[in-house]
Structure 1
């Protein structure tokens, strides 16, 4: 594995970093204090991101994306991750690659408009009673002639308020397994405005202000069979085939914020004076900085190794879980220590540290909790031993 960056990777990192600092940072205070991302601002920044070649850069070249390999994509994600989440995720959108699993007709209707910045989509899996245990979902879809009728509720659905459609996972049957009956899951495209499909305001939360969540309600919502994404009863296969790298995406954006927080801590420690000397001279501060830098490097190495193995076709579930687990926990550690180094000023919204600290909390929950990641890692360690 080569740890050096190619000239192309350096250019992508520099282009993304410049865009984040010049176009996104200036709007952070407004979004953080209002909790709202204006649509006119979204459109303005979206146009700039498209012009800069940064929009939908995660997608393959053949569908209009940048065709980045996993290593380069995560370097790009790391730079974007330094900014307010709503700003970088909405205005520099990276459509879910699950859209690539669609038919040619579905790609024309959903994928290409997302890549061109004409539409947004959202993924709907989680329910009030089914988070990590997706097989426990109660929302269902029953066949009725050439249609399916959807019924149930999804919640914690990110940016569903602005999405033009949802990819919804529904229970469509049951199968017998050695551990008892398990639900069969199918993924469906559901357009906003379809009768029986309602999007309701979600919950206010401490992390990622301006990046909304919603409650989706399906009350005898009828859609044609042509709206199935993938195959009937194969929703898990579609998700596993196309969503695996999202854990690495979370890891990369966390690395970006951790690096930004460490940068602020280093600058402050080098400039702030107490008792006649720079506070960075005191071991109580200097050792914190050393530990922060070491943990950040460890998290980055785990993430880059997983990305390299992803491109080699050798990545395991444990590799991606380790990267996600380490990066999210390191972000929480570095954000907390950076605030401690700044003292009271660290908690003021003049600096991005209190925002990074708040935002860090959700990262250990979504895309699989830390406990789920540890379960995946330990299961992979024990399986060869028959345990």
Structure 2
């Protein structure tokens, strides 16, 4: 693995960081204090992101994206991760790569408009009674002639209020397994406005202000067979094939925020004086900075090693679980220590630290909780011994 950046990678990092600092940072205070990301602001920043070549940069070049390899994409995600989540995720959108699994007709209807910035997508798996245990979902899709009829509820669905359509995973049958019956899952495209499909306001969230969640309700929502994404009853195959690297994406955005928090902490420790000297000279502060930097470096190496292995075709679920686990827990540690170094000022919203601290909490929950990541890791360690 080459630890140096190519000229192209350096250019992407510099371009993305400049965009974040010039176009996103100036609007953070508004979004944080109001909890609202205005549609006019979305459109304004989106147009600039498209012009800069940063919009839908996660997509392959042959469908209109930037065609970045995984390591370069993670470098880009790390820079975007420095900013308020709603600003970078909504205004510099990265459509779900699960859209690539669609038929040519589905790509024309859903994928390409998302890449052009004409539509937004959202992904709906989680239910009130089924989070980590997706096989426990109760929302159903029942075949009726050539159609499918959907019933049930999904919640915690990110930015569904903005999305033009949802990619919804439904229990579509049962099959035998060594542990008894288990659900078969099918994925569907559901357009907003479809009869029987309603989007309700979600929950107020301490993390990621301006980045909304919603509740999706399906009441005899009828869809033609052409709305199935992938094969019938093969929804897990679709998800596993196309969504694996999202854990690395979470890790990369955590790196960006941690780096920003550490930067503030180092600057403050060098400038703030108490008892006649810079506080950074006190061992209680200097050791915090050392530990923060070391944890950040370790997480950085794990995320980018997993990204490199992803490009080589050698990455394992264990690699990605370790990277996600380390990066998310590192961010919580670095954000907390940065606030401790600043004292009371760290909790004031004049600085981004209290926002980074709040936002860090959800990272250990979504895209697989820390407990799920530990389960994946331990299972991989024990599997050779038949345990």
* Coarse TM-score class (shorter-chain normalised): over 0.9
- Equivalent-residue separation in structure 1 for 2:19 and 2:200 (angstroms): 33
Match of 2:105 in 1: 105
Provide the rounded CA distance (Å) in 1 between the counterparts of 2:95 and 2:17: 20
Match of 2:256 in 1: 256
CA offset at residue 320 of structure 1? 0.2
TM-score by length of 2: 1.00
Return the alpha-carbon distance in structure 2 between the equivalents of residues 60 and 17 of structure 1.
22
Moved over 6 A (4+): none
The aligned counterpart of 1:271 is 271
SS at 1:23 equivalent: helix
Structure 1 CA distance for aligned equivalents of residues 137 and 288 of structure 2: 44
Write out per-residue CA displacement over residues 20-43 of structure 1, whole angstroms, 9 at most, x where no aligned residue.
000000000000000000000000
- 1:170-215 CA-to-partner distances (Å, cap 9, x unmatched) read 0000001110000000000000000000000000010000000000
Aligned pair 1:315/2:318, yes or no? Answer: no
Query: Aligned equivalents of 1:267 and 1:101: distance in 2?
Result: 46
Distance in 1 of aligned mates of 2:29 and 2:273:
28
Matched, 1:136 2:136: yes
CA distance in 2, matches of 1:177, 1:310: 30
Counterpart for residue 232 of structure 1 = 232
What aligned pairs does 1:293-304 form with structure 2 within 5 A after superposition? 293-304=293-304
Report what 1:75 is aligned to: 75
| 3-state SS of 2:252 partner | helix
- Scaled by the length of structure 1, the TM-score of the pair is 1.00
Q: Structure 2: how far apart are the matches of 1:61 and 1:267?
A: 40
1:385 positional shift: 1.1
Give the structure 1 partner of residue 49 of structure 2: 49
Deviations 1:320-367 (A, max 9, x none): 000000000000000000000000000000000000000000000000
Secondary structure at 1:67 match in 2? coil
Structure 1 residue runs of 5 or longer lacking an equivalent are none
Please tell me the root mean square deviation across aligned C-alpha atoms, in Å.
0.3
Unaligned runs of 5+ residues in structure 2 are: none
CA distance in 2, matches of 1:382, 1:314: 20
State the match for 1:92 in structure 2: 92
Q: Which residue of 1 aligns with 2:241?
A: 241
Secondary structure of 1:127's partner?
coil
